[in-house]
């Protein structure tokens, strides 16, 4: 007899073991998913509910730790799911059961629909940043103009970028908002030139203005990356819906020129809970505008009104964002929190960026917005091999 411990995420190791015994891919995946380990932190819990939870946890084989008005519960997904049944659970646990039902992650999306067709998410997808602003925090002024932008696009694609995110307005702290005419003048000629030279590459427009998004789609963009999550321009969702573009909804607070300041750092209930709630509201705005769910990606907005501690909480909690049911994009590239953790200046944070992206993949992120794809591509290749989808 030989006993071999299973390493890494238990559900991944179990799926590999089932496949080795001839189980089919879908069956092995769904079976192992039922054993995924989940944990939840509950606060403001009534005493009667706490007592009932302890009893239910013992009956179902779920670990429960309680305090005066809080609880932690953890266990395999299949067992936690048994608690998320309002019609069969004890009366004191009805509210908890409904909340668990909403919080349990669904099947991870396999595809993201864009205006250029579906993007497969079984492997990491890199979105390369093409800044056309003179005042971007990382590379402002270096790629403005068509020829420098084309040269930069070529390097990003060679480094592994499948998507190019073109932006004409900086969101760095203290940035001055750009008028529509100026933003259009910066991005439209470049989008047209890049679309002509690299027709197989998906182009994204990074803007909060519906008029810019509309013109950018006409110029070749097939994704809209709205860092305001449809908060700043009510017409943006309708433009995306009518043009059948892909949509990235990023979490942020505040208005133009203040998206990346520390003014939005107030998260008394925890940053992860706030991001989940507010991204859910953004998805609802998109739905009301007519954007189908399969066209939406969510981004927790690392560095946007968030401290280093907040960024770390979000990286640790990426898996919780799966509750939203949409693919997850993260953009840690060269952000302030990486500088605070490493002591490196902006230009020397690409290794830290690659590490953050690898951790993000292992948590469930599938799309990675970065300045330098090369290091990130290699880090993600290792992470995806150790922790396949």
Look at residue 188 in the predicted model and tell me its pLDDT.
97
Phi, psi of 252 (to 5 degrees): -160, 170
Task: For strands 246-250 and 223-226, give the pairing.
Answer: parallel
> Please, where are the H alpha helices in the chain?
10-20, 25-33, 47-60, 77-83, 94-103, 146-158, 180-197, 210-219, 236-243, 271-289, 308-316, 336-342, 350-363, 373-386
Structure tokens, 384: 């995806």
The DSSP letter of residue 251 is -
Predicted pLDDT at 235: 97
| CA-wise closest residue to 336 among 316, 361, 306 | 306
Q: Which residues are catalytic?
A: 335, 369
CATH topology for the 111-386 domain: TIM Barrel (3.20.20)
pLDDT per residue of the chain (389 residues) written in tens, 0 to 9: 355 555 556 777 788 788 888 888 788 888 887 778 888 888 999 999 999 999 999 999 999 999 999 999 899 888 999 999 988 888 999 999 998 888 888 788 999 999 999 999 999 999 999 999 875 545 545 556 899 999 999 999 999 999 999 999 987 666 678 899 999 999 999 999 999 999 999 999 999 999 999 999 999 999 999 999 999 999 999 999 999 999 999 999 987 766 766 555 588 878 998 999 999 999 999 999 999 999 999 999 999 989 999 999 999 989 889 989 999 999 999 999 999 999 999 999 999 999 999 999 999 999 999 999 999 999 999 999 988 87
Question: Is residue 241 within 8 Å of 281, Cβ to Cβ?
Answer: no
Instruction: Supply the CATH classification number for the domain 36-103.
Output: 3.30.1370
Q: What is the pLDDT of residue 142?
A: 57
Q: What is the dihedral of CA 65, 68, 70, 73, to 10 degrees?
A: 10
What pLDDT is stored for residue 1 in this prediction?
Answer: 38
Q: What is the rounded CA–CA span in Å between residue 96 and residue 103?
A: 10
- Please report the pLDDT score of residue 5 as a whole number: 57
The two tokens of residue 328 are: 């997850």
Longest dimension (CA), the chain: 73
Q: Tokens 């321009």 belong to which residue?
A: 233
Residue-range domain boundaries for the chain? 36-103, 111-386
CA triple 23-125-294, angle to 5 deg: 75
């Amino acid at each position: 007899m030989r006993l071999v411990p299973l390493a890494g995420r238990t559900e991944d190791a179990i799926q590999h073991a089932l496949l080795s015994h001839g189980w089919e891919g879908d069956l092995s995946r769904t079976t192992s998913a039922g054993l995924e380990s989940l944990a939840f932190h509950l606060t403001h819990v009534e005493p009667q509910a706490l007592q009932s939870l302890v009893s239910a946890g013992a009956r179902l084989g779920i670990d429960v730790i309680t305090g005066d008005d809080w609880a932690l519960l953890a266990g395999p997904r299949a067992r936690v799911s048994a608690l998320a049944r309002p019609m069969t659970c004890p009366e004191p646990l009805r509210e908890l059961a409904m909340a668990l039902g909403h919080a349990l992650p669904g099947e991870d999306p396999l595809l993201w629909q864009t205006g250029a067709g579906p993007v497969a998410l079984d492997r990491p997808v890199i979105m390369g940043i093409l800044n056309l602003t003179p005042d971007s925090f990382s590379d402002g002024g270096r790629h403005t103009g068509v020829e420098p932008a084309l040269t930069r696009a070529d390097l990003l694609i060679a480094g592994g970028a499948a998507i190019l995110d073109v932006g004409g307005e900086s969101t760095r702290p203290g940035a001055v908002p750009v008028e529509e005419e100026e933003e259009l003048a910066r991005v439209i000629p470049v989008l047209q030139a890049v679309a002509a030279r690299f027709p197989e590459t998906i182009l994204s427009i990074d803007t909060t203005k519906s008029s810019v998004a509309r013109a950018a789609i006409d110029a070749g963009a097939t994704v809209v990356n709205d860092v305001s999550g449809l908060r700043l321009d009510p017409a943006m969702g309708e433009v995306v819906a009518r043009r059948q573009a892909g949509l990235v909804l990023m979490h942020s607070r505040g208005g133009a020129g203040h998206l990346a300041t520390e003014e939005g750092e107030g998260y008394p209930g925890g940053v992860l809970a706030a991001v989940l709630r507010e991204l859910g509201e953004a998805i609802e705005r998109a739905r009301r505008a007519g954007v189908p769910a399969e066209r939406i990606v969510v981004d927790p907005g690392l560095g946007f009104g968030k401290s280093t501690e907040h960024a770390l909480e979000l990286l640790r909690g990426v898996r919780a964002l799966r509750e939203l049911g949409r693919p997850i994009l993260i953009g840690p590239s060269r952000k302030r929190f990486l500088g605070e953790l490493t002591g490196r200046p902006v230009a020397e944070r690409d290794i830290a960026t690659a590490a953050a992206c690898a951790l993000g993949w292992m948590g469930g992120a599938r799309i990675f917005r970065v300045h330098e794809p090369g290091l990130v591509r290699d880090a993600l290749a290792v992470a995806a091999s150790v922790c396949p989808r």
